[in-house]
Structure 1
């Protein structure tokens, strides 16, 4: 069931793929603590209100640099949160660039076993169909999902920051109506009937 749940989470142009096994190579040491100077703040101004993020470039430098590349180019402006996936007592919302001309190359996977970050309530992470496939689609959790952290049999998903203000907005998006006929396979019924647009994404004062 866990493999099925993780496979169902990936949302790509093609059908979801099963998560491959993690590489055999050892991971780098996990950082011991968050360093305030390593945090980059980004505001997502959505149709439902602002979401302020603190991105940890110290622990997840590759993933944060990738997200900021989209922010700085203005490529997240006008893009939607389009998915609301229930999980336990909460779930996640997923969004990202839907214009193929505004997609950068896939990035290296930074697993939780390397970064020391976790897929907990308020975390922002990258959607993927396996290590090295993440590009822009991202999610925000409203509940802890330990199953998304790296395990021996799964590389998991890569969190790279936290919501510091605006969880009420995230929860409102998660609670928005979904279209029971949209989506395929396990994702059917998880697509928002009316996607919530990101009006503007920009760096905030640190």
Structure 2
């Protein structure tokens, strides 16, 4: 038993030293101007979406990208169903690459069971199956983004695939940055996203 505790302590130290929180899932670090956000990706529940995101991370496409869009209480139509999130990716600085990459088959929240709760990461899209490089993080619970929700006319919702496990304070700081017509002004730098 004593040996088990020693191994556990060593494992904890190794995880602390590398800066990545311990998780049974793959963890990515979103490195921003305001600090780091650690996100675990549910590769078992949303294998295609999480797998595609990890492929993009491993290819280094998010280096020098941005959080560029924010939806808050004040920048949405008063009669619209409100959504609260920050959106990022490479569209702003490399839309050509974003458009050239493969699209991800749509995994609904009904299929995965991953709901759009506070800190959940999900893929941005136009129609189902059009997601690629752009993603968003939920601020608070956003049931309108789930399958059958009212935030998308097709009712299919968005493909959630992970959740923030450290750095919610950083996410909220980003959310509060100046914006104009739903776009951060200036955009918030993402230095890189790494495993």
What do the CA deviations read for 1:5-53 (whole angstroms, capped 9, x no partner)? xxxxxxxxxxxxxxxxxxxxxxxxxxxxxxx64x110001101100000
Question: Matched residue of 2:141: which SS?
Answer: coil
Q: So what's the TM-score if we normalise by structure 2? A: 0.77
Retained in 1: the 8 A contact 2:83–2:144? no
Partner residue in 2 for 1:141: 138
Partner residue in 2 for 1:176: 177
The Cα shift of 1:105 comes to 1.1
Number of aligned residue pairs: give it.
158
Q: Distance in 1 between matches of 2:174 and 2:139?
A: 11
Question: Matched residue of 2:50: which SS?
Answer: helix
> Does 1:196 find its partner at 2:185?
no
| Root-mean-square deviation over aligned CA pairs | 1.8
> Does 1:63 find its partner at 2:49?
yes
* Structure with the bigger percentage of helix: 2
The Cα shift of 1:89 comes to 9.4
Retained in 2: the 8 A contact 1:90–1:143? no
The Cα shift of 1:90 comes to 7.9
Retained in 2: the 8 A contact 1:85–1:91? yes
Q: Distance in 2 between matches of 1:150 and 1:91?
A: 17
Q: So what's the TM-score if we normalise by structure 1? A: 0.73
Question: Matched residue of 1:70: which SS?
Answer: helix
Q: Superposed, which structure 2 residues align to 1:44-123 within 5 Å?
A: 44-86=30-72, 91-98=84-91, 99-103=94-98, 104-123=101-120
Retained in 2: the 8 A contact 1:79–1:96? yes
Q: Which runs of 5+ in 1 are unaligned?
A: 1-35, 180-188
Q: Which runs of 5+ in 2 are unaligned?
A: 1-22, 74-80
Moved segments of 4+, more than 4 Å: 87-90
**Greater C-alpha Rg:** 2
Q: 1:171 to 1:83 in 2, by over 3 A?
A: same
What do the CA deviations read for 1:130-156 (whole angstroms, capped 9, x no partner)? 111101110001110111110186000
The Cα shift of 1:100 comes to 3.2
